[in-house]
Amino acid sequence: MSVTSRYKDAWEGFWSEASDEPGAVFWDAEPALTAGIHLALYEPHVTDAELTLVDLGCGNGTQTHFLADRFPDVLGVDLSAAAIELAGRRDKAGEARFREMDAVDGAAMSQLHAELGDANVYMRGVLHQCDPEDRQGLADTIATLVGERGRAFVVELSEAAGQKLMGLAQSPAGPPPKLQPVFRHGIVPGAVADAQLVEFFRTAGLDVLASGELPLTTTEYAADGSRVELPSKWLVIGRNG
């Protein structure tokens, strides 16, 4: 299985136009408000921190660079060649590696696992943006990558976030500026039912080791000057034994 050309083209167009200025992309919040908070929830469940950490759907690499300061080997993977190019340009110190790959291409992901061995995985806000027919394949990919020893941290928008996004999109003034390119390129965040999120990974043969809720911070601001935050659900998943 691989993603549709429509989906790949949409992301290629989005990242080709995206500015490399920090915070220019709607979800590209600073790591202190994103991956830094997630690590506090994730690290207690990581049983082998020496495994390669795969940042799945790494985009422009903002969170990947942060993770590379905390794990010995980090690989950022993204569908978009433009995103990988941008991430590489930002990686001045060469601390992380980046690779263009289709995360729902089962054969390619099996080959990556054969190359890396079991891996830890970080994935933020990717599943809900996938076409519905690709979501189980993405969960299967995480199961392949973690193998027996790895652990994955997954955070996805909750059902309530979809309602909030639609409210922003339909405001009298139109969508906020940083949200406009997302819709213009046809990357409309889809609603994944909260219960379905867990089911994808259980179907893939993984156990939910921890879970919870927290706001997902964006780089956009509301009319009152407050930071736009979206409700999200997080999971730590792996195999219990």
Predicted pLDDT of residue 87: 92
Ranges of residues in the chain with a pLDDT under 70 are 1-4, 91-94, 188-191, 241
Q: How many residues does the structure list for the chain? A: 241
Bridging pattern class, strands 207-221 and 120-124: unpaired
Q: Which long-range contacts (CB under 8 A, 24 or more apart) does 164-172 make?
A: 164/230, 164/231, 165/189, 165/230, 168/228
Task: Report the largest interatomic distance among the alpha carbons of the chain, rounded to a whole angstrom.
Answer: 53
Tokens for 160, please give them. Answer: 């309530």
With beta carbons less than 8 A apart as the criterion, state whether 207 and 238 touch.
Answer: yes
Residue 217 β-bridge partners: 229
> Which pLDDT value is given to residue 183?
78
Which pLDDT does position 102 carry in this prediction? 94
> Smallest Cα–Cα separation from 44: which of 136, 117, 151?
151
Quote the tokens at residue 92.
């001045």
Quote the pTM value. Answer: 0.94
pLDDT digits (tens, 9 = 90+) for 58-81: 999 999 999 999 999 999 999 999
